Chain A
Amino acid sequence: MKRQYDMLVIGGGPGGALAAKTAAEKGLSVCLVEKRPAIGAPVRCAEGIGKELLTDFIPPDPKWIATDIERAELVAPDDFSMVLEPKMAGSEVGYVLDRKVFDRELVWKAAEAGAETYVKARATAPIMRNGAVAGAVIEQHGKMYDVDAKITIAADGIESKFAKWAGIDTTVPLREIESCAQYLMTGIDIDAQMTSFYLGNDVAPAGYVWVFPKGKGLANVGIGIGGSKSGAGHRAKDYLDRFVKRKFPDGKCIELIVGGVSVCKPLSCTVADNMLIVGDAARVSDPITGGGIYNAMYTGRLAAETAIEALEKGDTRKAALLPYDTTWRSSTLGKALERNYAVKEVFVGLSDEKLNAIVHSISKINLEEFSTLTLITELIKANPSLLLELRHLKAFL
């Protein structure tokens, strides 16, 4: 590890990897540090992603695609199920990834582009000069290194501390975190081309249960519940165990995965002097689905592009990095985050009766293209009684 780089990237997930790759390709000296001993492990993800989103960044490769998804099933609290077949309308659906391989591939691409990568290397504090971030103190194998950087990318995920140490409040409110647990299960009777989503206050309060197939009889079976719904005796794992006992009593668990997903608004500002915050650390995971892979890759790449320009101009102060913040906010992603936050705020408060009504009415709609926007528009048409709950969403329609 050198003592100085153009860019220091804290975290080796998809956000950090894309930032490092983008910067290294432009000839910047880049150091990426990952505190864990292996990139991509342990997995903390349901591993689903939309196809068209992914191909923005990397051509699909069978070695990190577990399954090609064709259908999605939505199951109401009353067990009524409806299947969406976007493929029949010509739309692409998604993949279930193998994140251990996928994340490794992304970091390998960054390394191949010229970035230095260090594992079991943890940022323990920012180096602050004149009130601005100027690198980080990195601990690796029991030694401390002062690593100076003109730009630091905070890509340290849900448990992000780096930006907090630098003075930015990244605390996720309890009611706006999903407390999650997931089993990788084998020997279960599922449609290997269909993802399933189960709704209901008894099933997953302020969240949902997912079944994301990873092969024949193999799936990520997981749950997220609202943080304020979690407590002794009714935690994510308790709900998940109950679901598994009911739906897959003969299935075998071969992996336990736990995690937190923020469903709050993004940080009010994602830049500071010499620093940009990306991905989960910036709280840009989707408030409805909890998906964050694309969001991390998009913000990671954009952060590096902004940093490159700022470095060329020789000014990396907050004002010079602000285009990163304004660009992602006004992008399709930023607008979707804003809209989906408003939708989420409505949905977490709905009773099972309302949720039943919604799923039943969606099943009667011939959705040409499945999107949150068309869904909400159609829902209000079909359920005028929901208008009261959904009135806050009018601004987004």
Chain B
Amino acid sequence: MLNIRRDICGYCGACVSVCPEGALELVDAFLTVDIACINCGICEKVCPLGALEVVKE
């Protein structure tokens, strides 16, 4: 699953634009992830601040 570190997130939306599944959504200053997420890790790479981490279950 994708863990969003809200203490780090700068809510810029860079991750939303590269998500191939459209699973991320930026609601004002609150990033959300839905069940379409496939844990591909692209958003984890692109984040300028390192706010996203794919956690192995």
Contacts and interface: CB of A to CB of B under 8 A. Distances in A.
B35 interface: no
B49 A227 contact: no
A179 B46 contact: yes
A180 B48 contact: yes
A159 interface: yes
Interface in A130-165: 157-161, 164-165
A232 interface: yes
Interface string A14-57: 00000000000000000000011100001010000000000000
Given A35-B27, A159-B26, A256-B10, A231 B45 contact: yes
A165 B28 CA distance: 18
Interface of B: 10-20, 22, 25-28, 42, 45-50
Category for how many chain A residues contact B: 35 or more
B27 A164 contact: no
Interface stretch (A80-88, A169-177, A315-323, A370-378): A169-177
B46 A177 contact: yes
A382 to B, nearest CB: 35
Nearest to B21: A171
A172 B12 contact: no
Contacts of A165: 22
Contacts of A37: 28
Contacts of B20: 171
B22 A161 contact: yes
25 contacts: A35-B27, A35-B28, A44-B12, A44-B13, A120-B28, A122-B27, A158-B13, A158-B17, A159-B14, A161-B22, A173-B18, A174-B18, A174-B42, A177-B14, A180-B14, A180-B48, A227-B18, A230-B46, A235-B48, A236-B48, A258-B48, A259-B48, A260-B13, A260-B15, A260-B18
A181 interface: yes
Given A35-B28, A122-B27, A177 B50 contact: no
A-B CB proximity, top 4 nearest = A260-B14, A159-B13, A159-B16, A258-B10
B26 to A, nearest CB: 5
* Max count, chain A CB within 10 A of own CB: residue among B10, B13, B14, B25: B14
A138 to B, nearest CB: 13
B10 A158 contact: no
A223 to B, nearest CB: 9
Contact of A179 (B19, B25, B26, B48): B48
A159 B26 CA distance: 7
A177 B28 contact: no
A228 interface: yes
Contact of A171 (B12, B17, B48): B17
A356 interface: no
Nearest to B14: A260
A4 B8 CA distance: 40
Contacts of A164: 22
* Max count, chain A CB within 10 A of own CB: residue among B17, B28, B46, B50: B17
Interface string A224-250: 000110111001110000000000000
Contacts of A186: none
Given A35-B27, A256-B10, A227 B22 contact: no
A259 B16 CA distance: 11
A174 B45 contact: yes
A205 B47 CA distance: 15
Contacts of B26: 159
A119 to B, nearest CB: 10
A262 interface: yes
A266 B46 CA distance: 20
B27 to A, nearest CB: 7
* Max count, chain A CB within 10 A of own CB: residue among B11, B19, B45: B45
B45 to A, nearest CB: 5
A171 B18 contact: yes
Contacts of B13: 44, 157-159, 259-260
